[in-house]
Structure 1
Amino acid sequence: MRIVLIAGETSGDLLGASVVRALRAQYPHCECLGVTGPRMRDAGCESIDDIESLSVMGLFEVLRELPRLIRFRRALRDKILALKPDLVLGIDAPDFNLGLEGMLRSAGCTTAHMVSPTIWAWRPRRRFGVARNCHAVLCLYPFEPACYADTSVRAEYIGHPLADELNAEVTTAQARATLGLAPEQPVLAVLPGSRRSEVERLIPPFAEAALALAERHPGLRAVVPVASPHLRPLIAAHLREAPGLDWTLVEGDSRSVMQAADLCLLASGTVTLECLLLGRPMVVAYRASAATIWLLRSLRLIRTKHFSLPNILTGTATVPELLQNEVNAEHLLAAMAPLWTDAATRQRQLDSFDAVRDVLRKDAAATTAHLIGELAASP
Structure 2
Amino acid sequence: MTAPHVSTRRPPTIALCAGEASGDLLGAHLMAAIKARRPDVRFVGIGGPRMSAQGMENLYEQEKLAVRGFAEVVKRLPEILKIRTGLVRDLKRIRPDVFVGIDAPDFNLGVAEKLKKAGIATVHYVSPSVWAWRRERVKTIVHQVNKVLCLFPMEAELYQQAGGQAAFVGHPMAQVLPLDADQKAARLKMKIDLWETVFALMPGSRVSEIDYMAPLFFRTAKLLLKRYPSARFLLPVATAATRKRLLEILADDEFTGLPVQLMSAHADLACTAADVVLVTSGTATLEVALCKRPMVISYKISPLTYAYVKRKIKVPHVGLPNILLNKGAVPELLQRRAKPKKLAAAVAEWYESPQDVAALQQDFHDLHLLLKKDTAALAAQAVLAEAGVAETEAV
Asked if these proteins are the same fold (TM beyond 0.5), I'd say yes
Contact 1:21 1:44 in 2 (8 A): no
TM-score, normalised by the number of residues in structure 2: 0.91
Contact 1:273 1:309 in 2 (8 A): yes
Contact 2:296 2:347 in 1 (8 A): yes
What is the CA–CA distance in structure 2 between the aligned matches of 1:366 and 1:336, rounded to whole Å? 37
Name which of 165, 175, 194 aligns with 2:186: 175
Q: Does residue 21 of structure 2 align to residue 10 of structure 1?
A: yes
Name which of 263, 267, 276 aligns with 1:263: 276
* AA of the residue aligned to 2:269: S
What is the CA–CA distance in structure 2 between the aligned matches of 1:53 and 1:143, rounded to whole Å? 32
Q: Map 1:23-34 to 2 at 5 A.
A: 23-34=34-45
User: What does residue 361 of structure 1 align with?
Assistant: 372
Name which of 238, 245, 249 aligns with 1:238: 249
Could you say what secondary structure the match of 1:49 adopts? coil
What is the CA–CA distance in structure 1 between the aligned matches of 2:120 and 2:23, rounded to whole Å? 21
Could you say what secondary structure the match of 1:365 adopts? helix
Q: Per-residue deviation at 1:131?
A: 1.1
Contact 2:60 2:83 in 1 (8 A): no
Residue segments in structure 1 that go unaligned for 5+ positions in a row? none
* AA of the residue aligned to 2:354: A
What is the CA–CA distance in structure 1 between the aligned matches of 2:181 and 2:355, rounded to whole Å? 22
Q: Does residue 50 of structure 2 align to residue 39 of structure 1?
A: yes
What is the CA–CA distance in structure 1 between the aligned matches of 2:216 and 2:72, rounded to whole Å? 21
Residue segments in structure 2 that go unaligned for 5+ positions in a row? 1-11, 390-395
User: What does residue 344 of structure 2 align with?
Assistant: 333
CA 1:215 to 1:301, structure 2 compared with 1: closer, same or farther past 3 Å? same
* AA of the residue aligned to 1:207: F
What is the CA–CA distance in structure 1 between the aligned matches of 2:257 and 2:67, rounded to whole Å? 33
Contact 1:211 1:244 in 2 (8 A): no
* AA of the residue aligned to 2:299: Y
Q: Per-residue deviation at 1:366?
A: 0.2
Could you say what secondary structure the match of 1:283 adopts? strand
* AA of the residue aligned to 2:246: I
Describe the superposition over 1:221-253 as per-residue Cα deviations: whole angstroms up to 9, x where unpaired: 011122222222432333342345422112222
Pairs aligned (count):
376
Q: Structure 1 residues 140-149 or 98-107, which shifts more?
A: 140-149
Q: Does residue 303 of structure 2 align to residue 290 of structure 1?
A: yes
Decide which structure has the larger Cα Rg and report it: 2
User: What does residue 227 of structure 2 align with?
Assistant: 216
What is the CA–CA distance in structure 1 between the aligned matches of 2:43 and 2:244, rounded to whole Å? 34
Could you say what secondary structure the match of 1:23 adopts? helix
Q: Per-residue deviation at 1:174?
A: 2.6
Contact 2:181 2:292 in 1 (8 A): no
CA 1:168 to 1:264, structure 2 compared with 1: closer, same or farther past 3 Å? farther
Q: Per-residue deviation at 1:9?
A: 0.7
What is the CA–CA distance in structure 2 between the aligned matches of 1:3 and 1:155, rounded to whole Å? 19
User: What does residue 349 of structure 1 align with?
Assistant: 360
Contact 1:159 1:360 in 2 (8 A): yes
